[in-house]
């Protein structure tokens, strides 16, 4: 346990080094420290965790190799700087798991527990997003990645039975929304914070009930408070008003409309409707059916959090009221 605490602190420290650095080499060092600290947190005595650790190491190492090559070449051939900036951006998109470099993320999530899934979906996005925010990046390439991310995130989750894969494709879709803000304002930090809060509540519930597949949702006897909190969380993750998740999408919609990026905004909103469809798949059968408890299922029951989850998700109307008063 002490060892995991040390690696967790090193992972946080690595991200803080990247955020606070003012040169590419220091940022790269922070990314590497973060990567090498996260891998021991993944590892458990099972073949799946070993496979996940190896997969993460290979993907991140390849991305870091492209990043380091681009930084060195950028100093040597300053007249060709824009091409190396594109390579740096591509390496960071690989680290984030943004489309079209996204295929490793859902596959890796299926080999992790819910705590590690939460870290990979939220905290591990912070440092690469901060570096992309500092890039003078080609808008056309970024726009293409955003559109592909929201489309693949929506379409990829439609035919999935694994909750971890669904959360992975949902993360890719939300990453497209965050990237759309990365070159305009720093509002992507607000988006990431709200997304992290909602994802934390969902992952805590899935972890408490050891749920990894959609059919397990119907096999567990949930209280009405837990059903409502789970429903609110999923609708909030989809950005449905009046829940908290709508606030972050509202900020993105307003900013993109001010910048006349209407075509991209239409695609993003349409794809959000598709993500709401597969969130509703998870909710509808649970709300409409009678559950029975299987005695052989191990349940880590904790009934303290549903009311707090509902209160957090319903905080948007109060935010709007006080904002316009």
Per-residue pLDDT of the chain (325 residues; tens, 9 = 90+): 678 889 999 999 999 999 999 888 899 999 999 999 999 998 877 778 889 999 999 999 999 999 999 888 877 776 677 778 888 889 999 999 998 899 999 999 999 999 999 999 999 999 999 999 888 666 788 889 999 999 999 999 988 889 999 999 999 999 999 998 876 666 789 899 999 999 999 999 899 889 999 888 877 777 778 888 888 899 999 988 888 889 889 989 998 898 888 999 999 999 999 999 999 988 887 777 655 544 445 455 555 556 555 556 655 554 544 454 4
Instruction: Tell me the three state secondary structure of residue 184.
Output: coil
Name the domain count of the chain: 1
CA atoms of 160 and 173, how far apart (whole Å): 15
pLDDT for the residue numbered 138: 65
For residue 184, the model assigns a pLDDT of 65
Is there a contact between 236 and 313 (Cβ–Cβ < 8 Å)?
yes
Six-digit token string for 61: 């190492």
Q: Is the pTM here over 0.85, yes or no?
A: yes
Alpha-helical runs (H) found in the chain = 2-20, 24-42, 47-76, 81-96, 104-109, 114-121, 123-133, 139-156, 163-182, 188-208, 214-217, 224-237, 245-258, 262-288, 306-313, 315-324
Identify the pLDDT of residue 316.
56
Q: How far apart are CA 46 and CA 48, in angstroms?
A: 5
Which of 212, 239, 203, 208 is closest to 223 using CA atoms? 208
Domain that holds residue 13: 2-324
Residue 321: per-residue pLDDT: 44
pLDDT of residue 296: 47
């Amino acid at each position: 346990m002490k060892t995991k605490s040390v690696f967790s602190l090193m992972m946080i420290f690595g991200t803080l080094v990247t955020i606070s650095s003012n040169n590419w080499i220091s940022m790269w060092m922070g990314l590497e420290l973060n990567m090498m600290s996260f891998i021991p947190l993944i590892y458990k005595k099972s073949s799946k965790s070993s496979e996940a650790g190896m997969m993460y190491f290979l993907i991140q190492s390849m991305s870091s190799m492209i990043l380091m090559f681009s930084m060195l070449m950028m100093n040597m051939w300053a007249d060709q700087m824009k091409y190396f900036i594109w390579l740096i951006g591509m390496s960071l998109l690989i680290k984030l798991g943004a489309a079209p470099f996204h295929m490793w993320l859902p596959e890796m999530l299926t080999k992790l527990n819910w705590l590690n899934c939460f870290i990979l979906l939220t905290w591990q996005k912070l440092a690469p997003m901060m570096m992309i925010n500092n890039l003078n990046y080609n808008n056309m390439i970024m726009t293409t990645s955003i559109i592909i991310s929201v489309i693949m995130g929506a379409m990829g989750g439609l035919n999935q039975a694994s909750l971890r894969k669904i959360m992975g494709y949902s993360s890719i879709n939300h990453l497209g929304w965050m990237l759309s803000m990365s070159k305009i304002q720093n509002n992507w930090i607000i988006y990431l914070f709200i997304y992290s809060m909602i994802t934390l509540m969902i992952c805590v519930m899935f972890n408490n009930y050891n749920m990894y597949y959609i059919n397990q949702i119907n096999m567990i006897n949930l209280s009405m408070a837990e059903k409502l909190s789970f429903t609110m969380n999923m609708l909030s993750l989809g950005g449905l008003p009046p829940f908290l998740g709508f606030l972050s999408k509202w900020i993105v919609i307003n900013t993109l409309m001010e910048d006349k990026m209407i075509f991209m905004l239409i695609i993003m909103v349409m794809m959000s409707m598709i993500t709401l469809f597969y969130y509703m798949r998870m909710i509808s059968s649970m709300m409409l059916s009678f559950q029975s408890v299987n005695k052989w299922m191990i349940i880590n029951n904790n009934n303290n959090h549903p009311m707090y989850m509902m209160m957090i998700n319903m905080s948007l109307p109060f935010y709007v009221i006080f904002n316009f008063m």
